[in-house]
Amino acid sequence: MNDKRSQEIYERAKKTLPGGVNSPVRSFRNVGCAPRFIEKAKGDRIYDIDGNEMIDYVCSWGPGILGAADDRVLEAVKKACDDGLTYGAPTLREVEMAEMLKDLVPSIEVSRLVSSGTEAVMSAIRVARGYTKRDKILKFEGCYHGHSDGLLVKAGSAALTTAVPDSAGVPADYSKHTLVAAYNDEGSVEALFKEYPNDIAAVIVEPVAANMGVVLPGDGFLQFLRDITTKYGALLIFDEVITGFRLALGGAQEYFGITPDLTTLGKIIGGGMPVGAYGGREDIMRCVSPDGPVYQAGTLSGNPIATAAGLATLKILKEDKQIYKRLESRTLVLKDAVEKAAAGRVSVNQIGSLMSIFFTKGPVVDYKSATSSDTEKYAEYFKYLLDKNIYVAPSQFEAMFVSDSHTDDDIKATCNVIADYFRDHR
Ligand SMILES: *Cc1c(COP(=O)(O)O)cnc(C)c1O
């Protein structure tokens, strides 16, 4: 393995960028080595500046469902560039995007485009508060909803309390309206609703959690959230920034048949460009400015290049009727290989093209069980794979993403490396 240039640039990067990176997990700190600096990517391959060619299972943390630099998406982007990069005025493509979202995502009637998942969630929460005229938000431990103040929280020490900031720079006053329950734990949600029956504006949840590693909702959990929010007059927000267009065209809400009031989208919706969106029931979304009193705006929202990439990607997903079957069957090959090779030493969670290998006996059903994983073992596994040119997430608590560019041969090669790892590390 040669990563000489990456190491050199990392040293240089650390002088002018915090941790040498523009987003923390890219630094590889969790696995204790220098990150690879990337030169280019195509299909299921990613190339670093030392010339290593790797099979990529990070896929830009989700957007790359077609694989990198899909020719059809590139063509749409190049064509859009010729017409100018931004106007700050409405375009037909934004209308087509809103119509596409209404067509594909069951809960969405009206939507607004923004430029990141963080922005989408932050805005959806403001709408939920504006609509219900309530202040509190209930989230789940281990679910990530972007880096806005009120959501960057962890559970307080008492069993039933409001959250405490999980980052310096977040005033406790900002997090005091956020309540934290345990994923898959209906009792913890019920208790908070009993304590604050008229104060909770919304419950926000990743319908499949994918930011503590992949954790599936238990039987009936999403239906329970639908029922209890309706009972108490709170809104249900599905944060589908990862699951949207990933589990099914209509996201987790289509997959599980549960309709939230509001949905947040990101990642795949931009086809590799910065796009986010939030949307939902028309009467709720009419609260958004200039139709209503909830202010939200963006200079580059609905950017013409970004919407060209996003629309091209969504059209491909919509027209390819077999794509979700293909993605899942490839992922199942990986899952079976890991389970066979690891023989009970890890716990594998998988749904569609999302998968996590937890270095714990499991089952992994929530934050507590996810964090029982042996992260040092994961780091060892990560480095072993990287050395064999298999690029997976540099953290135990991130998903493995399979794309439509992963060939059967590359999946097989990956299975062999994973099998070797478990054979060599008893
Ligand atoms: C990635 C992610 C976000 C944040 O999106 P950014 O585009 O990184 O701001 C929010 N929610 C979920 C579920 C995510 O996975």
Q: Which of 288, 319, 350 is the last residue of a domain?
A: 319
Query: Closest by alpha carbon to 285, among 142, 160, 111?
Result: 111
Residue nearest to atom 6 of ligand 1 (CA): 117
Kindly report, residue by residue over 353-387, the tens digit of the pLDDT.
999 999 999 899 999 999 999 999 999 999 999 99
Q: How confident is the model at residue 426 (pLDDT cuts 50, 70, 90)?
A: confident
pLDDT given at position 157:
67
230 and 346, same structural domain? no
Which atom of ligand 1 is the closest one to the Cα of 243?
A: 13
182 and 134, same structural domain? yes
Kindly report, residue by residue over 283-340, the tens digit of the pLDDT.
999 999 999 999 999 999 999 999 999 999 999 999 999 999 999 999 999 999 999 9
For ligand 1, the distance from its centroid to the CA atom of residue 210, given in whole angstroms, is 10
338 and 264, same structural domain? no
pLDDT given at position 154:
85
Classify the C-alpha dihedral 100-318-269-107 as positive or negative: positive
Q: Which of 319, 339, 361 is the last residue of a domain?
A: 319
First-residue to last-residue Cα distance in the chain: 23
Specify the pairing of strand 200-205 against strand 235-239: parallel
Q: How far apart are CA 413 and CA 425, in angstroms?
A: 18
Q: 398: which 2 tokens?
A: 């991130």
Question: How many other β-carbons are positioned within 10 Å of the β-carbon of residue 55?
Answer: 22
Residue 255: pLDDT above 90?
yes
For ligand 1, the distance from its centroid to the CA atom of residue 411, given in whole angstroms, is 27
Q: How confident is the model at residue 397 (pLDDT cuts 50, 70, 90)?
A: very high
Residue nearest to atom 13 of ligand 1 (CA): 241
CATH of the domain at 171: 3.40.640.10
Q: Which of 267, 366, 391, 404 does the annotation list as catalytic?
A: 267
> What is the rounded average pLDDT of the residues 205-214?
98
For ligand 1, the distance from its centroid to the CA atom of residue 128, given in whole angstroms, is 18
Q: Which of 3, 48, 239, 410 does the annotation list as catalytic?
A: 239
Question: How many other β-carbons are positioned within 10 Å of the β-carbon of residue 95?
Answer: 12
pLDDT given at position 97:
98
135 and 11, same structural domain? no
250 and 111, same structural domain? yes
Q: Which of 10, 131, 144, 183 does the annotation list as catalytic?
A: 144
Which atom of ligand 1 is the closest one to the Cα of 242?
A: 15
CATH of the domain at 413: 3.90.1150.10
User: Which residues does ligand 1 sit against, CB inside 6 Å?
Assistant: 116-118, 121, 144-146, 206, 211, 239, 241-242, 266, 276
Three-class DSSP category at 139: strand
124 and 50, same structural domain? no
Q: Active site includes 267?
A: yes
Q: Which of 285, 319, 353 is the last residue of a domain?
A: 319
> What is the rounded average pLDDT of the residues 224-234?
98
Residue 160: pLDDT above 60?
no
**Cis amide bond preceding 363, omega within 30:** yes
Q: Active site includes 183?
A: no
364 and 247, same structural domain? no
Q: Which residues contact 212 (CB under 8 A, 6 or more apart)?
A: 142, 143, 144, 183, 367, 370, 371, 397
312 and 340, same structural domain? no
96 and 180, same structural domain? yes
Percentage of the chain surpassing pLDDT 70?
99
Question: Domain span at residue 172?
Answer: 71-319
* Structural domain total, the chain: 2
CB-CB contact of 83 with 333 (8 Å): no
Q: How confident is the model at residue 155 (pLDDT cuts 50, 70, 90)?
A: confident
237 and 156, same structural domain? yes
255 and 359, same structural domain? no
Three-class DSSP category at 199: coil
For ligand 1, the distance from its centroid to the CA atom of residue 62, given in whole angstroms, is 10
159 and 281, same structural domain? yes
For ligand 1, the distance from its centroid to the CA atom of residue 117, given in whole angstroms, is 4
Q: Active site includes 56?
A: no
